[in-house]
Chain A
Amino acid sequence: MNGDEACCEGALAVGCRFFAGYPITPATEIAESMSRRLPQLGGIYIQMEDEIASMAAILGASWGGVKSMTSTSGPGFSLMMENIGLGICTETPCVVCNVQRAGPSTGLPTAVGQGDMMQARWGSHGHYEIIALSPSSPQEMFDMTIRAFNLSEYYRLPVIILADEVVGHMNERVIIPREDDIEIINRRKPSVSREDYLPYEADADGIAPMANCGDGYRIHVTGLTHDERGYPAMNAKAQEQMVTRLVGKIRNNRDKIISTKNFYLDDAEVVVVSYGISARSSMKAVRDARNEGIKAGLIKLETIWPFPEELIRSIAPQAKAMIMAEINGGQMVLEMERCVGGACPVSLVGNYGGAILHPNLILGAISKAARGKT
């Protein structure tokens, strides 16, 4: 199956029963698969009038107690930003899969891009933390969609899957595990009575148990800055408390959230960092470099946000150079540069979208770096 279909199957396997979306290349096949599959499982597919509505609808469905998701690409992702912020502020579990194409604007609708990395991080207004994952294959589309739901249910926020056109459209074999082998995490429910329940009072790990609509708790949910009761609190102190917790629940748990796959790092002199489809070009380049006797290694980012700051910081002093390979003009490379903090030279292998990175391009950069030129 292709990556888009694998995303749909992963979502269904983890219990997603509501999908609201609006067609857009190259994410349309997720919606199409959902429209076929959800009715078979007693779920709802609804095609909304636009992506703003789609994002609003999945938040509503999530509060109705049903795991929900939407999928889109660049232009639709831009439209979703305000309600992603509502999801962050109200701590609503849901999943948004952005199958990236090349922008800006309508750009190249049918061609690959990885230009929405910073938009995923900072696209909605105000200060917040986000979780974003990046699959490199249809199998990972399946696996990471499951993980995205589990993270969203546990940490109570919209989790973003930053896929890309090539991963979405490529056909590869996908192994679907037995039902019992799939880990499913559901949102934590309140254990206290209605009188004692404070909807935004967090447990020790920063996560507040969530009462769904209809559970009898008669919650109030607002995108205004709110206190533990969920009631609007229009002052700087309440703002400080609320945002501190929203940011803290992700930052303080980043060890549990961050995931990378590391290849040949032990003795690596040149370290390539990459994600999504570009990680596969990078893998080929690193192997070719090894064959040429260059000590190259690869960090494949499975989580984009939060960024594996500590890992990069610990690797950098031992490396001769670090390279970020990505299909944009340099986005995650900025984050890497910040973490490296001058400990070694950092460079970018990228393009503005429309085609994947040829492994030889990355190999060239590795060879150059190994010779001490960046």
Chain B
Amino acid sequence: MTTSKPVKNIPPHPMDSLLRTERIPHIWCPGCGIGTVFSAVIAAIKNTGWDPNSIAMVSGIGCTGRMAGYIKLDSFHTTHGRALPFATGLKLARPQTKVIVVSGDGDLFAIGGNHFIHAARRNMDLTVICVNNLNYGMTGGQQAPSTPLGAKTTTSVNGSPEEPFNFSYLASACGATYVARWTAMQVRSLRSSISEALEKRGFSFVEVITPCPSSFGRRNRMGSALEMLKFYHGRSVIRGDIDPKDASMDIDKEIVVGKFVDIERPTFLDHYEKFNRPQMPPWRSMHPDNQKGR
């Protein structure tokens, strides 16, 4: 995020029914790719035809995390890195609600990395959208676990000395039931992947390689937002059939995109009910609404 003037006078939008229009203009920089991802998420939600009152969004902290503040759903903007455990509690308390987690690469894989691997391992029934902008946007562009080796950030002015994670491979290795990666330019594919992820039972994961022109782009001389979009798109190679470990994520060579995983696996609740079913009264008896008291 920068302090530059936000874009004003946005015309009425077909997605208004899912937008907190009173909160627009948003804080994202002009040209930021997060808006594109946000639109794709909203379009995919609309596409499901579900009752909006049965969908919730949970985010951590970061530019991406602010999505939760603009969507007109039950929405929770939690602490940095902790969106997944918060969402885990929410989902287990309300299994009938579809819970979507949106957050940045730093939030989900640096400070929240441990939560990510365990939520995937448990196969929590959550849909996780990661805006991978290759750095910490919100705090001004520091090195992240996604930052390419040698890339410049405010905390790696001579080039990052660390090798980045491959998030989609990590997600698949941890047990995600659905894994896809797209660049923010591939809007139609992205939208349909998010739709599929939403419909999927279990831990579904969609990674979006997204331009952050204000920080990552500027420090690495990548030109305008549009040039960045085109650059990532140009590097992308669609390989749906590939083993996730070969789905390379290298902005200097190739960014492999596509759907890498789409499998069935029992969720945490499936197992929990199976092991405990003999004594289980119906779910809803958990709710205070159904308990005595004043």
Contacts and interface: CB of A to CB of B under 8 A. Distances in A.
**Bind each other:** yes
Interface centre among B52, B114, B283 (most CB of A within 10 A): B114
Given A15-B291, A40-B279, A63 B85 contact: no
B76 A63 contact: yes
Contacts of A61: 89-90, 92-93
B279 A39 contact: yes
Interface in B75-114: 75-79, 82, 84-94, 96-97, 114
A184 B90 contact: no
Contacts of A62: 89, 93
Contacts of B76: 60, 63, 213, 220-222
B289 interface: yes
Contacts of B78: 56, 59, 86, 223
A53 B287 contact: no
Contact of A60 (B86, B114, B279): B86
A56 B79 contact: yes
A49 B117 CA distance: 10
A213 B91 CA distance: 10
A66 interface: yes
A42 B281 contact: yes
B184 interface: no
A46 B88 CA distance: 9
A42 B273 CA distance: 9
A97 to B, nearest CB: 17
A16 to B, nearest CB: 10
Interface string A1-40: 0000000000000010110100000000000000000011
A83 B97 contact: no
A21 B72 CA distance: 32
A66 to B, nearest CB: 4
A320 interface: no
A68 interface: yes
Interface stretch (B53-61, B127-135, B186-194): B53-61
A65 B85 contact: no
B114 A223 contact: no
B4 interface: no
A232 B69 contact: yes
Given A214-B74, A218-B72, A64 B276 contact: no
B158 interface: no
B282 A42 contact: yes
A186 B294 CA distance: 6
Which among A39, A59, A83, A220 has the highest number of chain B CB atoms within 10 Å? Answer: A220
A80 to B, nearest CB: 11
A221 B89 contact: no
A345 interface: no
Given A15-B288, A221-B76, A66 B93 contact: yes
Interface residues of A, number: 51
A54 B68 CA distance: 22
Nearest to B269: A44
A211 B289 CA distance: 12
B294 A39 contact: no
A96 interface: no
Interface in A191-239: 213-224, 231-232
A113 B202 CA distance: 43
Contact of A218 (B73, B86, B275, B294): B73
A215 B294 CA distance: 18
A43 to B, nearest CB: 6
B118 interface: yes
B73 A186 contact: no
B101 to A, nearest CB: 11
Nearest to A65: B287
Interface string A64-104: 11111000000000000011001000000000000000000
A60 B288 contact: no
Nearest to B51: A216
A195 to B, nearest CB: 12
Contacts of B9: none
A187 interface: yes
A50 interface: yes
B13 interface: no
A219 B75 contact: yes
B20 interface: yes
Interface string B252-281: 000000000000000010001001100111
B8 interface: no
25 contacts: A39-B272, A39-B275, A42-B280, A42-B286, A48-B88, A48-B118, A52-B85, A53-B118, A54-B85, A56-B78, A57-B86, A60-B58, A60-B90, A60-B93, A65-B93, A65-B287, A65-B288, A66-B287, A67-B288, A186-B291, A213-B74, A217-B74, A218-B75, A222-B76, A223-B78
Lowest 8 CB-CB distances: which A-B pairs, in order? Answer: A64-B93, A60-B89, A57-B89, A184-B293, A39-B276, A53-B85, A60-B90, A61-B89
